[in-house]
Structure 1
C-alpha cells in the first residue's frame, strides 16, 4: 500500500536561488511533469505551492510571466475555482494526461498516429490469437473488434474506467471537507467549502492526469493491469509501446505482438463471459474507498484558519499528509479480496495463453517469464497507479494462481476448469492459493460426486429402486 496514496505529502524541494535556469524551467512546466502553472499534486519540476521560489508562491509563479501568459494563468485559476462538478476535475485530468503523453517517455519514445499497416497487423494478430485460444479455453471469443491505439487514444478510451475507479476515493475526501464544520456553520461557510472542494477536484485532476499519462507510455493493451479499462468487446493494442517492449528481447516483432494479442484476447474472453467479474473488481476498489479515514483534526485546523486570499495554504496542508489512509478492517478485507481476484484473473490468463502459445511459438517461455516479472515487480506505471487510489494492483501470487489453474486443467479438463467462473463463491480463495493441490483434490471429488448425482437424476430407472427401498424401509420402521 502506498505511503502517499494521492501523491500528497511530498516534501518541497529546496530552493536554489543561484540556478535561474532551473527556476525558469520549473515555472514553465519543464522537467518531468507537464506544463502546470499551479503545480498541483506535487508534480516534479512543476514549481508547485510547496516548491522553490519566494515566500509568496504566486509571486514566484507569476513574477516572470509575460502579460499573455499571466492572463492565461489567471484564467486557468478562475476555471479551477469555479469548477462545480464531481470530486475530480476530469477535464483537467484529461488535459494533463494528453500533455504528458505528448512529451514522450523517458527513453525518448514519442507518441504517433497509428498507420494503416499497423492497424492491419493488430487486427490479424488478434484474429489469429482468438483461433489459438479456442483450443485452450471453453469461453468463446469476447472481442467483437480489434483496434490499434496511439497513447493519446488510450487515454481517451480509458478515462471512463478511471472515473469509475477513482471517484469513490476522491468523493470520500471531498465529503470529509464538508463534514469538519458544525452543521450550523456549514451554511455560513458554504462558499469557503465550495472553494476548497473546487481546489480539491483540481488537485485530484492534476494528479490523476499525470498518472494516466505515465501509464499510457507503458501499457501494451487495454487490460495490462488486470482490469478492463477499455470499451466492452474491443481488444486493443498499442503498436508504439509494443515496439518499445520488445526492443531488447531478441524476439521477432511479429511473435511479440502475437503473444500480447493472446493475452489481450484472453482477458476479453474472461470479462465478456464472466458478467459479475468486472463489478467484483471495481467493487473491491469502492470498498477500499469506503474504509478511508481522513485526518479530520488537521482538516478542522485548516478550515478554521483558511484564508481565501491564500489558496496555496490548502495545498500545503495536503502535502503534509492530511489524507493518509488507515489500515481499517474494511480496507484490509477489500484489499485481500481484490488481490486474490487479480491473481486469479492473471493466473488464468497466464495458464491459458501458455497452453495456446507453447506448441506454436518458440519464444513462448521467454515471453511468459518476461511478462510475469513485469507484472510481479511493477514499474513506474504500477507505482503511479498506486498513488491514485492507494492500492498496488500487482497480482503478487500470479505464479501460485497459474499453477492452480494448470492443475485444475489436468484434473478436470478445460471445461471443468472454466466452469469455476460461473459464480464468485466457486473460485479459489487466498487460502486455496496456499495449497493448490488440496483445492484441486477437493474440487475433483466434488466434481465426481456432482457427475454421479446428475447421472442418477438423468437415469429414471436408477431412481425407482431407491425410492421403493426408502418406502419399504419407512414401513419397516413404522411397524417396529
Structure 2
C-alpha cells in the first residue's frame, strides 16, 4: 500500500514553490562559492569553541535551490516514514485499493504544499536521515544550505552578505559537529522519531476523531489561538515521546544559536546588527504567514531557539564549556523540558552527582 505518492509530492512542491530572488548568473555563482568556503571556515570555528571532537573528515556543504531542498527532504521523509509505511502496508487489506490510491495522492499533494511553503524560508539544515548508501562510503548526514533563501534574507535585512553567510554557517555547522562528534545522538533522535510514528493509532475511528480535533484547531488558530496540528493529531503515548524529542531538539537548536552568537563577535564584525534584524524578521510576516507557521508548529521551533540558547548560556556561565559538554555523555544526561526551563536542576542532577558512564561519546 502506498501511503504517500512521493512523485506527486515532488511535482506539487516544485510547482508551488516561489521563485528565488532575481540575481545575475555571476552573483549566483559567487553566492554558491562563498557558502562552500564559509561552511568550511565555520566548521573550524565551531570545533574550536565547542571542544567537541569528531573523527569525521570535514565535508563541504551541499548547496541547493528551493526545488533541490524539497527533493532532499522528501528523501529524508521516506527514510523516516518507512517503519510506519511497512506497518500500514501489513494492514493494507483493511482498505480498498481505490481508497489507498486516492489517499496517497491527496497526502502527496498535502506534503508537497507544506514543503513548498517551507522551501522559501529554510536557510539551511543538517539532514540526519539520508537514504542508505549502497557503497557504505557516504556520510550518514549532510549539511545543506539553501542559497536563494540566504541571498533573499541578506537582501531583505540589508546586512553584509559575507558576514550573514558566515553567521548562518556557524549555526548549521554546529549541528554537523553535534551529530558527528556525539555518535549516539543521531541514533537517539532516529529511535525517538520512529517510536513517535509507530505510537500512532492508525485505526479509522481514532484517525477520524483526531482529524475532527485538527479541524477545531485550525479554526482556533485562524482566530488567533495557540494550537497546532501536531498537538491536535497525536496520541497520549506520542505526547510523552514528543516531550523527549522536543527537549533534545531544543538543546541542539539552542546550542547552535549560542555558538553562532558567541563565536560571532570575533569573526562576524556586524553580528549585533544581523542578530537584531534577524530576530525581528523571525517574529514578522503577514497574518496568513503567521497562521501557517503556528499551524505547522514552526512558532514552537522559534521558541526552542530562545529557550535552548538561554539554557546553554546559563549552564556555560556557571560551569564552563567543559561542564556543559557533559550533556553529550549519554541520553541520560540530556536535559528534560523542565530542566531546560530551570538549568539549575540539570546542573544539580548531572554536574553535582557522580559521573555517568559515556555512551561512546568523543567529547574533548
Q: Is the 8 A contact 2:196 2:238 kept in 1?
A: yes
Equivalent-residue separation in structure 2 for 1:168 and 1:409 (angstroms)? 38
Counterpart in 1 of 2:111? 208
Deviations 1:352-394 (A, max 9, x none): 222211233233234345555666789959947965xx89762
Deviations 1:269-292 (A, max 9, x none): 112222333333344343333343
Equivalent-residue separation in structure 1 for 2:79 and 2:306 (angstroms)? 29
Deviations 1:438-477 (A, max 9, x none): 432454323xx559xxxxxxxxxxxxxxxxxxxxxxxxxx
Equivalent-residue separation in structure 1 for 2:206 and 2:236 (angstroms)? 23
CA change 1:173–1:395 in 2 (3 A) is farther
CA change 1:214–1:436 in 2 (3 A) is same
Q: Is the 8 A contact 2:52 2:178 kept in 1?
A: yes
User: Which residue among 58, 62, 78 is the counterpart of 1:163?
Assistant: 78
Q: CA deviation at 1:259?
A: 0.3
Mean alpha-carbon deviation: is it higher for 230-239 or for 167-176?
Answer: 167-176
Q: CA deviation at 1:319?
A: 9.3
User: Is structure 2 residue 14 aligned with structure 1 residue 98?
Assistant: yes
Q: Is the 8 A contact 1:177 1:299 kept in 2?
A: no
Counterpart in 2 of 1:342? 249
Counterpart in 2 of 1:287? 195
Equivalent-residue separation in structure 2 for 1:385 and 1:287 (angstroms)? 24
Q: CA deviation at 1:196?
A: 0.9
Q: CA deviation at 1:264?
A: 1.4
CA change 1:216–1:93 in 2 (3 A) is same
Counterpart in 1 of 2:266? 359
Q: CA deviation at 1:104?
A: 2.4
User: Which residue among 174, 177, 196 is the counterpart of 1:266?
Assistant: 174
Q: Secondary structure at 1:247's aligned position in 2?
A: helix
Q: Is the 8 A contact 1:136 1:352 kept in 2?
A: yes
Equivalent-residue separation in structure 2 for 1:440 and 1:299 (angstroms)? 41
Q: CA deviation at 1:333?
A: 0.5
CA RMSD of aligned residues (A): 3.9
Counterpart in 1 of 2:301? 394
Structure 1, unmatched stretches of 5+, are 1-84, 180-191, 301-317, 452-480
Structure 2, unmatched stretches of 5+, are 131-138, 209-213, 218-228, 357-364
Q: Is the 8 A contact 2:250 2:304 kept in 1?
A: yes
Counterpart in 2 of 1:12? none
Higher helix share goes to which structure? 2
Counterpart in 1 of 2:211? none
Q: Is the 8 A contact 1:118 1:148 kept in 2?
A: no
Deviations 1:213-232 (A, max 9, x none): 22222211124xxx636674
Q: Is the 8 A contact 2:253 2:304 kept in 1?
A: no
Mean alpha-carbon deviation: is it higher for 233-242 or for 370-379?
Answer: 370-379
CA change 1:437–1:299 in 2 (3 A) is closer
Q: Is the 8 A contact 2:326 2:350 kept in 1?
A: no
Q: Map of 1:122-137 to 2, 5 A cutoff?
A: 122-137=35-50
Q: Map of 1:452-471 to 2, 5 A cutoff?
A: none
Counterpart in 1 of 2:67? 152
Q: Is the 8 A contact 1:259 1:364 kept in 2?
A: yes
Q: Is the 8 A contact 2:179 2:185 kept in 1?
A: yes
Equivalent-residue separation in structure 2 for 1:86 and 1:111 (angstroms)? 40
CA change 1:437–1:272 in 2 (3 A) is same
Q: Secondary structure at 1:218's aligned position in 2?
A: coil
Equivalent-residue separation in structure 2 for 1:125 and 1:382 (angstroms)? 34
Equivalent-residue separation in structure 2 for 1:242 and 1:112 (angstroms)? 15
Q: Secondary structure at 1:213's aligned position in 2?
A: helix
Q: Secondary structure at 2:48's aligned position in 1?
A: coil
User: Is structure 2 residue 351 aligned with structure 1 residue 444?
Assistant: yes
